[in-house]
Amino acid sequence: MNNQILDILALAVPILIALTVHEVSHGYVAWKLGDPTAKMMGRLTLNPIAHLDPIGTLMLFLVRFGWAKPVPVDPRYFKNPKQDMLWVALAGPASNMVLAFLFGLLIRAVGLQSSGNFTGDFLKMILLYGLYINLALAIFNLLPIPPLDGGRILRGLLPWRYEHYVDRLEQYGPFVLMGLIFLGMFTGFSVFGIIITPFVRFFGGMFAGINL
């Protein structure tokens, strides 16, 4: 089988897992804090079809950065909207770090050396991508740029009197993100790669004992 096709297939499994768990975690924490919106809209499901955003998923395959369809959250249900939205936002990246840790444990258990067996080597490729994708997704989403989770976390941490800065940033955040992504695609100079790669390597070494 063509190596490129194998690569895409090996990427697909961890991408679906990473995006699905990320979004379900947002919805689950919101539900536990009093907001039933995600549950009522059928988003507390591990069926990846309910969470996939076509463009965000394509970006993950192309440039290893992307997003899923955001889980709806209504902060009017929260007792403390500012603080509770912070926990909801943090849940997604935290879930990906947990997944990365689990993939790392599996890599430590089975190793990454080729066994000469197609199935075994393919599964090891999935584990490696699972570690990388979850680390990259977690760190990417922690960047303090709306509409990423990091932007919502920043809003939750800032005093009320500074929130208008986040409001302004929110107007241009999506354009900034897409501009930086396309800059990396067309020039080979990835701003996100420069920021994210050191963290991926650090946690990859910590979780799996390897250098990503």
What's the alpha-carbon Rg for the chain, to the nearest Å?
18
Q: Which two tokens stand for residue 175?
A: 């354009």
**Known catalytic residue: 23?**
yes
**Considering 23, 35, 84, 149, which one is annotated as catalytic?**
23
Distance CA 123, CA 113 (A): 12
How would DSSP label each residue in 159-209? -GGGHHHHHHHHHHHHHHHHHHHHHHHHHS--HHHHHHHHHHHHHHHHHHS
CB 22 within 8 A of CB 100: no
Give Cα 100 distance to the centre of its chain.
11
List, by residue number, the catalytic residues: 23
